[in-house]
Structure 1
Amino acid sequence: MSLGAGQSAEGTNAGGIFVQFNQDCTSLVAGSSNGYHLFALTPDDGVEEIYASRSGQDTCLVDRLFSSSLVAIVTVQAPRKLIVCHYKKGTEICNYSYSNTILAVKLNRSRLIVCLEESLHIHNIRDMKILHTIRDTPPNPRGLCALSPCVDNCYVAYPGSSAVGEVQIFDAVHLNAKCVISAHDSGLAALAWSQCGRRLATASERGTVIRVFAVPTRERLYEFRRGVKRCVAIACLAFSACGALLAATSNTETVHVFRLGAAPAPGEAEDGWLGWLASAARAGAGLLPAHVQDVLAQGRAVAAARLPVTGHRAVAAITSSPRAPRLLVATSAGVLYVYALPAEDGADCALLHEHQLLRPDATAAAAPRCYAGAVRGPDAPHTESARAEQLGAALESSPPRGPFDLRDHKHFPPMRGADDDAQ
C-alpha cells in the first residue's frame, strides 16, 4: 500500500510525495523534499500530524512499524542506504548500505525486507542483522514485493519472472522457498497480503483481472474483472482488516472495491448486460468456450469511488471506524480522500472528507524542528548494545498483536516537545 517519489521505487510518481499506510492502516506516513511526516487517522475521519522530521533531506521511502516508534527511511541523497530511526527520540538507531538503489522497504513485527532490483535482503527486526539474502531475482525495476503483516505466516511475495505473472513465495522466518504461483500471463503490477497472511491478491500489467490465491496451497480463490473497456495500470491492491473487501487503485479516476465471496445466491439476479451474460453462461454451462466462461464467471466491483483529481498515483486502505467502514485513498499530490462505503452493492462511494497532507512545492520551505535527543550522523558508529537498547525502546511502544481500536489514544501517544525531553 505505498507509492513513491523521486526514483524507481514501487509506485513511483516522480516529483510527487511518497505516501504509505502502516501495516494495520491506523496511521499514514509521507515522505517529502524536506523529510518525513507521520499522521494518525482519527475516529472522526480526520487526520492528525504527530511528527515531522524536517531533516532537509528528500525522503523517497519511509515505513513505520505499526504504531511503534520504529521508522525506516531512504533518502534521495543516499538511495543505497537504509536508515532506521526512533522517531520520538529523534535518534538514528542504525543504517545499512547496499550494492544498489533501494526500491522498497517492508516491515512486520518479525522481519524487515529491503528490495533491490535483483535481490531481497531479510533483516531480523529485533537486532537488524541480515538473516538471508535472495540473490539473482528476475529484474524488478519497480521494487515490487509484499510482506505479510502477520508473523505467524511471515511470507514475502515477489516476481518470479519479468515476462509472465509468476509469484515467488518465501518464508521469511524459516528462510526457505515456500511455493510458486502462476498468477497471470503478463508481468505482475501489484501484490498485497491479507492481514492473516494466508491470502495474496495479484494484478498484472494488463490491469483487467485481479486474482486472490490461498497460500501456501496456491488455490485460486477469487477472480475479479476490474473492467472490460480498457487496460489500465494497477497501482495498489489493499485488503480490509477483516479480509472481506479488496480495493484497487489504478491510473484512472476510479477506485474499485470488490467483495470476496460475493457471488450471487442461486436465483438472485445480477444487474447490467454483463450480469445478463453471466446468467446466460451459467444456464448454458459447457456450451461456451472455456475462456469465455472464465470471463463471465469473474466477479465485479461492488462499489467504486471517483477521485476528484486525476493524474496522481494513489494508494488505498479499507478501515473500520466506530461509525462504518471507510475507504481511504492517499495520492502523490499529498491529499487523503475519505469515502463512505455504500450499504448496497453497486453504488458509488460518497466522498466525506478531503485532507491536504503536504504540498509537493511547499514542504522544502517548512521551518526545521529541533529535538533534544542527539541525532547521530548517517555514518556514526553504533555498538551492538546501544543498537539493541534503542531497537527495544522503539519496539516496546508497539501494541500487542490483536485488534486495534482507533478510539484508544494510547496507540498514538502525543509527540513530546524538546523541553519535555530535556527534563
Structure 2
Amino acid sequence: MAQQRGVNSLQFNQDQSCFCCSMETGVRIYNVEPLMEKGHLDHEQVGSVALCSMLHRSNLLAVVGGGVNPRFSDISVLVWDDARESRDPKDKLVLEFTFTKPVLAVCMRRDKIIIVLKNKIYVYSFPDNPVKLFEFDTRDNPKGLCDLCPSLEKQLLVFPGHKCGSLQLVDLSNTKPGTSSAPFTINAHQSEIACVALNQPGSVAASASRKGTLIRLFDTTTRDKLVELRRGTDPATLYCINFSHDSSFLCASSDKGTVHIFALKDTKLNRRSASVPDLLFMTALTSTQLW
C-alpha cells in the first residue's frame, strides 16, 4: 500500500530560521531563507510522526509518534541526535521521556524542555542528564497550548490558566526547582483560549479565544493589556498566531482560509475600526487568501 504523505503538524525553531514538518512519511526539516530542505528522518526510522520540535539549528530533534502508522507511542518524547553516524536508527536516539497520557506539545530552549499533556505541563533540564524541575497542573488543554521564550535573559512560559479564558505566566528562572510556584494570571478572554504566543524577548504575550474575532496583546511584566487586534466580526477557528522575529508584525491563520498580518510597531499600516470607540482596535494591514 502506498504511504500517505499528509502533514500532521508544523513547527518553527526558536529563531524562526527553520521549520519541521511532522508527516505520515516521517520528518522533513526546512531552512526558511533560502527555502530548502535541510534534513529528514525517514518513515523507516520514525514511522508516522505527530509532533517534531527542533532546538535552534542544532542536530537535536524531539519527536512524538502519531498518525496512521507510527513506530513510536504518542505517550513518549524521543530526542534524536541526527548528527550521529550510524546505520541503526536506534543509535541516534539519545533521550526518551515517557508518560501515562498522550503528549500534545513539546517546546525546547537551550537549557530546558517542556512537555505538555492534557492537564499537565512538565519542565525538565536539558539536554545533559535531564531532571524534572517543575510540574504544573492545568485546565483541560486538548490542543497542548503553550509557548516558551527562547531568550537567554527571560525564561518565560505561558499556557492556559485554570479559569476559563485566562493565561498563566511562569518565570522559570524565579521558580525554585521541585516546588509548585503560583503562576501570574491574566484574565484575557471570556471564552476558552484557542491560541497563545510570546514574542522573542518574552515581553509581550498574545492570545485569542475560541470565538476567533479578537487577538489581545499583554505586557508580560505588568500584565496590562496593550492592544486588541480585530481579525474579523464573524466567529472563526484560529489555528495559529505568531510574532515576527523583531516583533514588528503578528500573523494569524484561521479556518476562513486566510492569513491576517498586523503591524505592531508602525500601526499606521493597519486599518482602524471605530466599532468600539473606547478601545483601540486594529484590523489587519493585509489579509491573504490561502488556495
Task: Return the alpha-carbon distance in structure 2 between the equivalents of residues 48 and 294 of structure 1.
Answer: 48
Aligned length: 268
Which amino acid in structure 2 is aligned with residue 78 of structure 1?
S
2:289 is the counterpart of 1:306: yes
2:58 alignment counterpart: 68
1:374-401 per-residue CA deviation (whole Å, 9 max, x = no partner) reads xxxxxxxxxxxxxxxxxxxxxxxxxxxx
Q: Deviations over 1:172-213 (max 9, x none)?
A: 233334411111111100001100011111111100000111
How far apart, CA to CA, are the structure 1 residues paired with 2:125 and 2:153? 15
RMSD of aligned C-alpha atoms? 2.1
Matched, 1:86 2:119: no
- Partners of 2:139 and 2:212 lie apart in 1 by 21
Taking a change above 3 Å as real, the CA distance of residues 177 and 152 of structure 1, as seen in their structure-2 partners, is farther
Q: Which has the higher helix share?
A: 1
Note if contact 1:191-1:203 (Cα within 8 Å) is conserved in structure 2. Answer: yes
AA of the residue aligned to 1:88: A
Report the alpha carbon displacement of residue 56 of structure 1 after superposing the two structures with TM. Answer: 4.9
AA of the residue aligned to 1:167: L
CA distance in 1, matches of 2:120, 2:152: 22
Which residue does the alignment assign to 1:50?
39
Kept in 1: contact 2:205–2:217 (CA 8 A): yes
Instruction: Give, in angstroms, the shift of residue 263 of structure 1.
Output: 4.2
| Residue 294 of structure 1, CA deviation | 4.2
Helix, strand or coil at the partner of 2:174:
coil
Equivalent residue number for residue 22 of structure 1: 13
* 5+ residue gaps, structure 2: 1-5, 67-71, 176-180
Is residue 26–residue 40 contact of structure 2 (8 Å, CA) maintained in 1?
no
Find the counterpart in structure 2 of residue 246 from structure 1. 250
Q: 1:234 aligns to what?
A: 238
Gaps of 5+ in 1: 1-14, 282-291, 309-423
SS at match of 1:299: strand
Spell out the pairing of 1:47-196 with structure 2 (5 A cutoff).
47-54=36-43, 55-76=45-66, 77-89=72-84, 91-127=92-128, 128-135=130-137, 137-161=138-162, 164-175=164-175, 176-196=181-201
Q: Is the 8 A contact 1:19 1:30 kept in 2?
A: yes
Q: After the TM superposition, which residues 266-345 of structure 1 pair with which residues of structure 2 at under 5 Å, given as runs? A: 278=274, 292-294=276-278, 297-308=280-291
Q: What's 1:346 paired with?
A: none
- Normalising by structure 1, we get a TM-score of 0.60
1:152-187 superposed Cα distances (whole Å, 9 cap, x missing partner): 21111111136x210011122333344111111111
Q: Which moved more, 1:99-108 or 1:49-58?
A: 49-58
Max Rg structure: 1
The within-5 A match list for 1:208-219 is 208-219=213-224
Higher strand share: 2
In 1, Cα distance between equivalents of 2:267 and 2:207: 19
CA distance in 2, matches of 1:112, 1:200: 20
Give the conservation status (yes or no) of the 8 Å contact 2:215–2:230. yes
Tell whether the 8 Å contact from 2:20 to 2:27 is kept in structure 1 after alignment.
yes
| Alpha-carbon separation, structure 2, partners of 1:170 and 1:243 | 21
SS at the partner of 1:184? coil
